Amino acid sequence: MNLKDKKVVVTGGSRGLGLGLVEALVEHGAKVTVVARNSDALAAARERLGVTVISADVTDEAAAHRILGEIHPDILVLNAGAKPPMGRLDLLSWEDFSATWETDVKGGLYWMQAALKTPLKSGSRVLVGSSGAAQNGSPLSGGYAGAKRMLWLMAKYANGVSVQNKLGISFQAIVPLQIIGDTGVGDAGANAYARAMGIGREEFLARFGAPMPPREFGEKVVCVLEDPKYADGVVFGLKGDTGITMIEGAAA
């Protein structure tokens, strides 16, 4: 898919990994709309990158339907998510444990439903942000790993609905296979695990190999969108030193 003049909506695109992706999309000629809550961060992205911005909560079901109904994007990227409260299992309240379910999973459900019900046009792509924690767990981040695995599964479920209803919409999960520093979620995780191990943050991050800063993450996602060999994949792992790995292909 050539991104030139393609309409792209990115939730949570005003900072962190989302902003790195927005920068890459703009560089490749896409017409990007960023959806996020922080008005100052949105204004900064609009002024620097020339993107359209919409202030909205991703867990607002009506907003998801309204935005997709107005824009009808070629590509929807579900990147927004809560920073998980960090702590050992026996020390977390249910509110802390379920924070990512109440934001990441709830928002993912509403936006995927909106994509299917609007519906987006045939040939559209929906990228769903997951995490390497969905594979291996994350004992200091409560329900985060489970929430990210659920989003992975939901992308597969949505593909099933798309096939059943003959919509031609592809849902693909993006799985960063390392903790990424200088992002809200990444820094929370890196700091917590480094403290638990009695080492510094940078030493902990170095254990993942080559770093994958937000802009590099963005370029890898663009590659998933533009390279035909990734068009039929369902789950992709992204890592600084190994690039893009197709974890799951399309069902036979």
| pLDDT, tens digit, 9 for 90 and up, residues 170-193 | 999 999 999 999 999 999 999 999
**CATH class as words, domain 7-179+213-242:** alpha beta
pLDDT, tens digit, 9 for 90 and up, residues 198-226: 999 999 999 999 999 999 999 999 999 99
- pTM, entire model: 0.97
What are the residue boundaries of the structural domains of the chain, listed by start?
A: 7-179+213-242
CA 1 to chain CA mean position, Å: 19
Q: CA 76, CA 81: separation in Å to the nearest integer?
A: 15
Contact predicate 19/214, CB 8 Å:
yes
pLDDT, tens digit, 9 for 90 and up, residues 101-138: 999 999 999 999 999 999 999 999 999 999 999 999 99
- Under DSSP, the state recorded for 131 is -
Helices (H), the chain: 16-27, 39-49, 61-71, 94-97, 99-100, 106-117, 133-136, 144-164, 184-197, 201-206, 214-226
- What is the dihedral sign for C-alpha 26, 30, 34, 40? positive
CA 187 to each of CA 55, 175, 179, 193, 227: distance values in angstroms, whole numbers, following the listed order: 24, 17, 8, 10, 31
Q: Which two tokens stand for residue 217?
A: 């993450």
